[in-house]
Amino acid sequence: MARKNKWSRELVISALAERHKQGKSMTSSAIRKEDQSLRGAMETYFGSHYKALAEIGLTKENVSPLTFWDRDMIKREFLVALEDVSSISELSRKHKKLDHAIRKHYGSYDALCDDLGMDVSVIKRQVREWAGEDLLDVLREIRDDGGPLNITSVKTRFPTVHEVAVRCFGSYENALSSVGEKLDDHICAMKYDSHLGKSFERLLWQMYQDLGYNFSYQKRLCNNTIMPDFYDEDNNIFIDAKLSSWTVFCSSSIEKYLPHCDELIVVYLRGSDIQHDTPRLKLRHVSQYYGELEDAGLTHYIAEFDRLLSKADNLGERSAA
């Protein structure tokens, strides 16, 4: 509900106390959906969602008690889940919290199945054609021949490089690390910046899915003339992912998207909220989702965003040197 009066620390505390008294949810996502003005005032006057709640005696545990997972519970829930799923991707869709717990406590489904004394093939389809060592052999050969190790070049020798790298090492960057190479040594600064931007965009998409946002990803609109990164069809809002806040003013996003939507939101990883006079344009730092991620037990996304930010900052330092 929109409020006409200006907020103050006292008004925020009073509104939170009243909300709690009425038995309403005090999670970040619930307050954002029901009273965006209050949610913004909490950040403005207290710095974070939980610092504001502390003023009325609430803690994170009071507000969003997360399921306590241990290995015994994971094994029990996994055996139950096997009754209605047959693959890791299906389990991750239907049992997100269990999937996160498995990855946190075991690191992999292989380790979980080893602990249960069963073959991982009950949940993980085995790909036997190419193994991780096959990819490493090709990378070593290309390196020894003096060839480039960017993923586009490697694909000419190893067409399934991306799939095998992700399956066996988690990412192509990790595969390169296994042969003593660094990804940014094989990508020029401009291409690497684009690579980081795409990584940020994909991570946002995964985050939106796990948070339950009903957004379309890269949907072509207006007779295939535009394709925003994300589309909130219910509210006719376009969301554009940018590695840096300032790049939106150096690109064609504003001119291309604003005429076709009610609001354009630019979600960025680094930089500040630049003041502007463009109607219906909002800049949103990705950290504004951190409260929701904490509420949902998805804090690994915060770590991933921090990792990308560190890489982007390091790239900027090298470019300036």
Tell me the pLDDT of the chain (321 aa) as tens digits: 444 457 899 999 999 999 988 888 888 878 888 888 898 889 888 888 888 989 998 877 667 655 567 899 899 999 999 888 888 878 888 888 888 788 878 888 888 989 999 888 778 755 445 778 888 988 998 888 776 787 777 876 777 788 888 888 888 888 988 998 887 776 654 455 677 888 899 999 999 999 999 899 988 888 788 899 999 988 899 999 998 888 787 778 888 898 899 999 999 998 877 888 888 999 999 999 999 999 889 999 999 999 988 887 775 544 433
Phi, psi of 35 (to 5 degrees): -155, 80
Query: In terms of residue numbers, what domain contains 18?
Result: 9-63
> Based on the domain organization, do 210 and 257 belong to the same domain?
yes
* pLDDT given at position 194: 74
> Based on the domain organization, do 229 and 279 belong to the same domain?
yes
Give the 3-state secondary structure of residue 228.
coil
The answer to whether position 3 is within a domain reads: no
The answer to whether position 229 is within a domain reads: yes
Q: End-to-end CA distance of the chain: give it in Å, rounded.
A: 50
pTM score of the predicted model: 0.45
Closest by Cα among 283, 238, 229 to 263: 238
Residue 271: how many other CB atoms lie within 10 Å: 16
The answer to whether position 32 is within a domain reads: yes
> Based on the domain organization, do 198 and 316 belong to the same domain?
yes
Q: How far is CA 153 from the centre of its chain?
A: 28
Give the 3-state secondary structure of residue 7.
coil
The answer to whether position 311 is within a domain reads: yes
The answer to whether position 4 is within a domain reads: no
Contact present, 240 and 253 (Cβ < 8 Å)? yes
Structure tokens at 94: 């239907």
Number of domains in the chain: 4
